[in-house]
Amino acid sequence: MSDIYQHFRKDEEPFIDQVLEWKRIVTEQYRMKLTDFLDPREQVIVTSVIGRSDEVKLAFCGGYPEAERKRAVLYPEYIEPDAEDFQLQAWEVAYPEKFASIEHRELLGSLMGIGLKRQKFGDLIFSGETRQFICSEDVADFVFSQLTHVGRVKVSLEKIPLSKLKIPEQDVEMRDDTVSSLRLDALCSSVSRQSRQKAQTLVKNGLVKVNWKMVDDPSYSLAEGDMLSVRGFGRFTLKSIEGKTKKGKWRVTFAKQK
C-alpha cells in the first residue's frame, strides 16, 4: 500500500492518508463515509486511491452535475446512496441589488470570515444579479445566523432546494497543447501563451495559484485535476495528461473558464 504515494506529490500525502482512513472506516464498520467538499484535484486523488475496489464504492455530488466542488460518499457495495446522503443545503443571498453589488471574492471572504473552513462550502453560483451558494447541512444553521453582511452590504439568506439553483450556461474552452514538462512555469507558459521566462516571473511574483493556493516555486509539479489560476489570464483546469510524444513532450488538455 505504501507504493501508492509514489504516484502523488509529497504535499498530498496527508490527504492520501485521510482517504485511506475513510476507506478503512467503510470496510471495517460496514457503513457509508461522507466527506466534506473536495476540489477537483482532491476528487482525482480519492478516485485513484479507492480505485475499482470491490469492497468500497464511490460517488460524488455537488448539488448539480457541473459542480466544481463536490462531496464524496464512500460506501459498501451492498448500499446504494441517494441524494439526501450527501447532506447539501443551498442558499440564495438576498441583498439590495439596485444599490449594491456582490463579487465572488467578497462572498467567499465573508463566508470564510464567519469561522468555517472552505471545505464546508461547495460552489458559489453567480447568475446575473442572483447570488447562491451550497454548504453542508451540519453547518447550515450556523451560516444562517452568522452571515449578515457581505463586505458592507447587509444580506439575508433564504433556504432553497437544489432544484432552484440558477446555474449559468457553462462557457468553457478546451485547449490541447504539448509542454516540455509538467512544471508550473512550463504550464503557465502554455496557458498564458508567453515565454517560459515571463511565466517564471508571474510565478515568482505570487501571481499564480494552484488549487486556490499561491505557489511561487516555478518547479512545482502539476497533476491531473489541478486548478491553475494566473492573474490576468484566467482560470484553467488541467483536465488530462495523455502521455508523451515521440519527442518527449507531454500532451495535455486544459479547460479554460471564459
Mean predicted confidence (pLDDT) in 129-156: 97
Q: Which pLDDT band holds residue 2 (cuts at 50, 70, 90)?
A: low
Regarding predicted confidence, which is higher, 5 or 216? 216
Stretch (H or E) spanning 240: strand 234-244
Predicted pLDDT of residue 31: 93
pLDDT per residue over 38-51, tens digit each? 999 999 999 999 98
The CATH T-level fold of domain 88-164 is Alpha-Beta Plaits (3.30.70)
Strands (E), 64-120: 70-76, 88-94
Taking alpha carbons only, the member of 208, 211, 221 closest to residue 252 is 221
How much is the pTM?
0.83
pLDDT per residue over 193-234, tens digit each? 999 999 999 999 999 999 888 999 999 999 998 999 999 999
- Distance, in Å, from the CA atom of 133 to the CA atom of 131, rounded to the nearest integer, reads 7
Predicted pLDDT of residue 22: 96
pLDDT per residue over 160-185, tens digit each? 999 999 998 777 889 999 999 999 99
Mean predicted confidence (pLDDT) in 227-253: 92
Predicted pLDDT of residue 58: 95
Q: Is the pLDDT of residue 1 over 80?
A: no
Residue corresponding to grid cell 444562517: 144
What Cα–Cα distance (Å) separates residue 224 from each residue in 152, 178, 211, 221, 230? 39, 14, 12, 10, 17
Predicted pLDDT of residue 9: 87
Correct CATH for 172-257 of 3.10.290.10, 1.10.3720.10, 3.40.640.10, 3.40.50.720:
3.10.290.10
CB 116 within 8 A of CB 129: no
Q: Which pLDDT band holds residue 258 (cuts at 50, 70, 90)?
A: low
pLDDT per residue over 112-121, tens digit each? 999 999 999 9
pLDDT per residue over 27-82, tens digit each? 999 999 999 999 999 999 999 999 877 789 999 999 999 899 999 999 998 888 99
**CA-based torsion, 155, 158, 159, 163: positive or negative:** negative
Query: Would you state the CATH architecture of domain 2-82?
Result: 2-Layer Sandwich (3.30)
Mean predicted confidence (pLDDT) in 4-16: 88
Predicted pLDDT of residue 6: 81
Predicted pLDDT of residue 53: 72
Taking alpha carbons only, the member of 153, 113, 158 closest to residue 132 is 158
Q: Start-end ranges of CATH 3.30.1370.160 in the chain?
A: 2-82
